[in-house]
């Protein structure tokens, strides 16, 4: 996907994979995407030829020697990423920028594997890369200005919207997305029927339900992220009931998500539509649908995400409320009618929002704990756009 959008922008790409067969498969993915565009009349055959001529598949790190920017996109395992970084840097010119497309592992930690941490940065794409407009650029503690400028230029060249975030586990967007998915797992474990969870999400304004979203990103990836988090932060970092649910799906039932045709949904051959897997109702004793507060389900899904966005502002991970709002809508479609995750809180009012969150915390636990920042804003009657005024000091910089 990353190779495709880069070549589409006219930039030559070296597509490196563990063996030539995998690299050729990677190029074939670009071929199928551009062939689809030609079929729909959105691209000319000669544009397809030009795009594909810009992608050079290889299994040899030496072919990276002339590259100005490398984007590492191996799977979420620190050891595998360490190996890729060391092998690439052994052949790269000293001015080259190395970017990791990690979705959750902190960049500062990964940069320790680099001989030149000032040239090391995070460029986090969302899948499917050809459709998603947002890219997170993540600054490690030692990331230099040149690396940041190169990353922003690259993201703009491939016609995507960059937001710049400071380093943390999960950065900004994934921290919010993981809260959204995690709340749905909690609902499943409570016995809420799966169709109610998905319908509540879309009724709340989300374009995709949390279970469908997990399928898109892959359930085994969720498992890898949870396991890496436990390795890094200890057992208490992940809810054992949620870990058990994901392990059951992946290890006992072989359900990895859309990619193998079975996840929380079943994916029959087209034109048939996906359907929720009937086996979900056998995993936990089911609540009677009449007894489930449907409006509260909607509220839980939005409030848990908005609280995480507020925590990210409190920690200084994101410093401009516009980037937090734009990021939440472009990356995972946070109820666009609200204006974004922080505008959702501003629209309700901090005082009322805190009251709602405290009620949910009593019933559903610590995930709904209100950060100090919000308590302070509620007391002062402030909004995010007043507290973090992006237009103060005569700053009229364009929104992302």
pLDDT at 113: 95
Residue 392 has pLDDT above 80, yes or no: no
Q: Helix, strand, coil: what percent of the chain each, to 5?
A: 55, 10, 35
Q: Round to whole Å and give the CA distance between 133 and 126.
A: 8
Determine the Cα angle at 344 with ends 338 and 345, to 5°.
165
Helix (H, G, I), strand (E, B) or coil at 135: strand
Domain termination residue (choose one: 132, 166, 200)? 166
| Residue 328 phi, psi (nearest 5) | -65, -30
Q: How confident is the model at residue 76 (pLDDT cuts 50, 70, 90)?
A: confident
| Residue 193 phi, psi (nearest 5) | -60, 135
Q: Kindly state the percentage of the chain with pLDDT values over 70.
A: 98
Rg of the chain taking only CA atoms, in angstroms? 22
Q: Round to whole Å and give the CA distance between 54 and 34.
A: 13
Token look-up 């230029």 returns 153
Q: What is the mean pLDDT of residues 71-98?
A: 93
Residue 366 and residue 349 in contact, taking contact as beta carbons nearer than 8 Å: no
- For residue 259, being part of any structural domain is answered with no
Q: Is 177 exposed, middle or buried (0-12, 13-18, 19+ CB in 10 A)?
A: buried
- Counting the structural domains of the chain, the total is 2
- For residue 363, being part of any structural domain is answered with yes
Q: What CATH number is attached to the domain comprising 362?
A: 1.10.1040.50
Q: Round to whole Å and give the CA distance between 303 and 263.
A: 26
* Beta-sheet strands, E only, within 257-326: 265-266, 275-276
Helix (H, G, I), strand (E, B) or coil at 121: strand
Q: Round to whole Å and give the CA distance between 179 and 198.
A: 15
Q: Which residues face 275 on adjacent strands? A: 266
pLDDT at 389: 87
- For residue 244, being part of any structural domain is answered with no
Tell me whether the omega of the peptide bond preceding residue 271 falls within 30 degrees of 0, making it cis: yes
- For residue 56, being part of any structural domain is answered with yes
Catalytic residue positions, numbered: 124
Q: What CATH number is attached to the domain comprising 19?
A: 3.40.50.720
- For residue 242, being part of any structural domain is answered with no
| pLDDT tens string 205-223 | 999 999 999 999 899 999 9
Query: CB under 8 Å to 199, separation ≥6 — which residues?
Result: 209
Residue 90 and residue 61 in contact, taking contact as beta carbons nearer than 8 Å: yes
Q: In the numeric block, which tokens belong to residue 217?
A: 């990103």
Helix (H, G, I), strand (E, B) or coil at 150: helix
| pLDDT tens string 182-199 | 999 999 999 999 999 999
Q: In the numeric block, which tokens belong to residue 158?
A: 């491939």
pLDDT at 393: 58
Half-sphere exposure of 274 (CA within 13 A, CB side): 22
Measured distance between the N- and C-terminal CA atoms of the chain, rounded to whole angstroms = 23
Residue 396 has pLDDT above 50, yes or no: no
- For residue 226, being part of any structural domain is answered with no
Q: Kindly state the percentage of the chain with pLDDT values over 90.
A: 86
Domain termination residue (choose one: 139, 166, 193)? 166
- For residue 274, being part of any structural domain is answered with no
Does residue 161 sit in the same domain as residue 13?
yes
| pLDDT tens string 233-288 | 898 889 999 999 999 999 999 999 999 999 999 999 988 999 999 999 999 999 99
| Strands 265-266, 161-166: pairing kind | unpaired
| pLDDT tens string 276-312 | 999 999 999 999 999 999 999 999 999 999 999 999 9
Domain termination residue (choose one: 166, 200, 229)? 166
Could you tell me the residue range of the domain that residue 305 belongs to?
Answer: 294-394
Entry pTM:
0.83
- For residue 346, being part of any structural domain is answered with yes
Helix (H, G, I), strand (E, B) or coil at 334: coil
Residue 398 has pLDDT above 50, yes or no: no
Does residue 162 sit in the same domain as residue 298?
no
Residue 139 and residue 164 in contact, taking contact as beta carbons nearer than 8 Å: yes
Which long-range contacts does 389-395 make (Cβ < 8 Å, 24+ apart)?
390/320, 390/321, 390/322
| pLDDT tens string 325-380 | 999 999 889 999 999 999 999 999 999 999 999 999 999 999 999 999 999 999 99
């Amino acid at each position: 996907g990353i190779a495709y959008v880069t070549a589409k922008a006219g930039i030559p790409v070296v597509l490196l994979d563990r063996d030539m067969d995998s690299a050729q498969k990677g190029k074939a993915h670009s071929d199928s995407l551009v062939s689809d565009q030609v079929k729909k009349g959105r691209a000319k055959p000669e544009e397809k030829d030009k795009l594909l001529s810009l992608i050079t598949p290889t299994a040899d790190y030496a072919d990276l020697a002339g590259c100005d920017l490398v984007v590492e996109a191996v799977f979420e395992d620190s050891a595998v990423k360490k190996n890729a970084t060391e092998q690439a840097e052994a052949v790269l010119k000293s001015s080259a920028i190395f970017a990791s497309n990690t979705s959750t592992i902190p960049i500062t930690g990964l940069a320790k594997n680099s001989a030149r941490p000032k040239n090391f940065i995070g460029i986090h794409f969302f899948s499917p890369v050809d459709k998603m407009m947002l890219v997170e650029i993540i600054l490690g503690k030692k990331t230099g200005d040149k690396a940041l400028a190169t990353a922003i230029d690259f993201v703009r060249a491939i016609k995507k919207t960059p937001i710049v975030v400071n380093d943390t586990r999960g950065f900004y967007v994934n921290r919010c997305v993981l809260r959204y998915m995690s709340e749905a797992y909690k609902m499943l474990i409570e016995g809420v029927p799966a169709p109610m969870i998905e319908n509540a999400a879309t009724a709340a304004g989300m374009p995709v339900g949390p279970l469908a979203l997990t399928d898109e990103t892959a359930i085994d990836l969720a498992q890898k992220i949870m396991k890496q988090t436990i390795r890094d932060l200890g057992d208490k970092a992940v809810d054992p009931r949620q870990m058990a649910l994901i392990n059951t799906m992946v290890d006992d039932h072989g359900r990895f998500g859309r990619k193998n045709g079975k996840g929380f949904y079943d994916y029959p051959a087209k034109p048939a539509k996906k359907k929720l897997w009937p086996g979900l109702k056998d995993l936990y004793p089911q609540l009677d649908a009449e007894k489930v507060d449907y409006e509260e389900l909607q509220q839980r899904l939005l409030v848990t995400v908005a609280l995480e966005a507020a925590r990210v502002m409190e920690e200084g991970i994101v410093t401009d409320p516009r980037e937090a709002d734009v990021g939440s809508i472009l990356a995972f479609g946070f109820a666009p009618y609200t204006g974004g995750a922080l505008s959702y809180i501003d629209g309700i009012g901090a005082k009322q929002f805190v009251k709602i969150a405290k009620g949910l915390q009593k019933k559903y636990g610590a995930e709904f704990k209100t950060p100090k920042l919000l308590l302070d804003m509620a007391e002062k009657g402030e909004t995010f756009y007043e507290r973090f005024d992006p237009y103060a000091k005569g700053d009229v910089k364009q929104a992302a």
